[in-house]
A and B are shown apart, each in its own frame.
Chain A
Amino acid sequence: MSDLRKLIVDGREIEVPPSYTLLQACEEAGAEIPRFCFHERLSIAGNCRMCLVELKGAPKPVASCAWGVSDCRPGPNGEPPEVLTRSALTKKAREGVMEFLLINHPLDCPICDQGGECDLQDQAMAYGVDTSRYHENKRAVEDKHIGPLVKTFMNRCIHCTRCIRFATEVAGVPELGATGRGEDMEITTYLEQAMVSELQANVVDLCPVGALTSKPYSFKARPWELDKTESIDVMDALGSNIRVDARGKEVMRILPRLNEDVNEEWISDKTRHCVDGLRAQRLDRPYLRVDGRLQAASWSDAFAAITERVAATTGDKIGAIAGDLAGVEEMFALKRLMESLGSASTDCRQDGAALDPALGRGGYIFNATVAGIESADAILIVGSNPRKEAPVLNARIRKRWRAAQPPIGVIGEPADLTYDYNYLGAGPESLSHLLAGEGDFYHALSAAEQPLILVGQRALVGDNGAAVLSAAARLAADVGATRDDWNGLSILHTAASRVGGLDIGFVPGEGGKIAREMVSGDSGLDVLFLLGADEIAMPPAGPFVVYIGTHGDAGAHRADVILPGAAYTEKSATWVNTEGRAQLGNRAAFPPGDAREDWSILRALSGALGKTLSFDSLAALRAELYEAHPHLAEIDTIKPAERADFGRVAAIGGAIAGPPFASPIKDFYLTNPIARASATLAECSAMHLGPAAEAAE
Chain B
Amino acid sequence: MAVRRLAETQPESFAFSPENHAWAEREIAKFPEGRQASAVIALLWRAQEQEGWITKPAIEQVAEMLSMPTIRVLEVATFYTMFHLEPVGTKAHVQVCGTTPCMLRGAGDIIDVCRRRIHAEPHHRSADEAFSWEEVECLGACVNAPMVQVFKDTYEDLTPESFEAVLDAFDRGETPTPGPQNGRHHSVPINGLTSLTEIDYSDGAAAPVTEPMSAPAPARSEPAPAEPSVAEAPRATEGPTQSDATAVAEAEPELLTAAPDEGADDLKRISGVGPKLEGLLNSMGIYTFAQVAAWTPENIAWVDDRLKFKGRIDRDDWLGQARKFAAEKSGR
Contacts and interface: CB of A to CB of B under 8 A. Distances in A.
Interface string A174-211: 11111111101010111100000000000000000000
Interface in A144-197: 174-182, 184, 186, 188-191
Contacts of B78: 179-181
A43 to B, nearest CB: 15
Contact of B4 (A174, A184, A190, A191): A184
A189 B71 contact: yes
A507 B79 CA distance: 61
14 contacts: A174-B71, A176-B71, A177-B71, A177-B75, A179-B74, A180-B3, A180-B4, A181-B1, A184-B3, A184-B4, A189-B71, A190-B71, A190-B74, A191-B74
Nearest to A179: B78
B51 to A, nearest CB: 19
B72 A177 contact: yes
A184 B75 CA distance: 12
Interface in B56-85: 56, 69-72, 74-75, 78-79
Nearest to B56: A191
A184 B74 contact: no
A177 B74 contact: yes
Interface in A500-547: none
A180 B79 contact: yes
A490 to B, nearest CB: 29
A170 to B, nearest CB: 15
What class of interface size applies to chain B in its complex with A? 10 to 19
Nearest to A186: B3
Contacts of A190: 69-71, 74
A181 B71 contact: no
A668 to B, nearest CB: 21
Given A174-B71, A179-B74, 14 more contacts: A176-B71, A177-B71, A177-B72, A177-B75, A179-B75, A180-B79, A181-B1, A181-B78, A184-B4, A188-B71, A190-B69, A190-B70, A190-B71, A190-B74
B206 interface: no
B73 to A, nearest CB: 9
Contact of B79 (A175, A181, A191): A181
Interface string A397-414: 000000000000000000
Contacts, number: 39
A176 B74 CA distance: 11
B2 A178 contact: no
Contacts of B231: none
Dominant SS at the B interface? helix
Contacts of A174: 69, 71-72
A191 B6 CA distance: 9
Contacts of A188: 71
A77 B52 CA distance: 62
Contacts of B69: 174-175, 177, 190
Contacts of A189: 71
B6 to A, nearest CB: 7
A26 B69 CA distance: 37
A181 B75 CA distance: 9
Q: Sort A-B residue pairs by CB-CB distance and give the 6 closest, nearest first.
A: A177-B71, A179-B78, A174-B69, A190-B71, A190-B70, A177-B75
Interface of A: 174-182, 184, 186, 188-191
Given A180-B79, A191-B6, A175 B71 contact: yes
Contact of B2 (A176, A184, A191): A184
A336 B209 CA distance: 105
Contacts of A176: 71
Residue among A174, A186, A190, A191 having the largest count of chain B Cβ atoms under 10 Å: A190
Contacts of A179: 4, 74-75, 78-79
Nearest to B59: A190
A215 to B, nearest CB: 21
B81 to A, nearest CB: 9
B277 to A, nearest CB: 42
A182 B71 CA distance: 18
B64 to A, nearest CB: 13
A174 to B, nearest CB: 4
A625 B318 CA distance: 107
A190 B74 CA distance: 7
A181 B71 CA distance: 14
Interface in B1-38: 1-4, 6
A225 B79 CA distance: 43
Interface string B152-188: 0000000000000000000000000000000000000
Contacts of A181: 1, 78-79
B197 to A, nearest CB: 43
B1 A182 contact: yes
Nearest to A141: B3
A190 B70 CA distance: 7
B196 to A, nearest CB: 39
B71 A184 contact: no
Nearest to A182: B1
Contacts of B3: 180, 184, 186
B82 to A, nearest CB: 13
Interface string B103-122: 00000000000000000000
Contacts of B4: 179-180, 184
Interface string B28-54: 000000000000000000000000000
A179 B6 CA distance: 11
Nearest to A177: B71
Contacts of A182: 1
Contacts of B70: 190
A614 B70 CA distance: 63
A162 to B, nearest CB: 16
Contacts of A191: 6, 56, 74
A286 B91 CA distance: 79
Contacts of B56: 191
A174 B56 CA distance: 18
Nearest to B60: A190
A179 B3 CA distance: 9
B69 to A, nearest CB: 4
Nearest to B72: A177
Contacts of B1: 181-182, 184
A174 B63 CA distance: 13
A189 B71 CA distance: 6
A178 B75 CA distance: 6
A248 to B, nearest CB: 42
A182 B137 CA distance: 15
A180 B1 CA distance: 10
A186 B2 CA distance: 12
B66 to A, nearest CB: 13
B41 to A, nearest CB: 14
Contacts of B2: 184
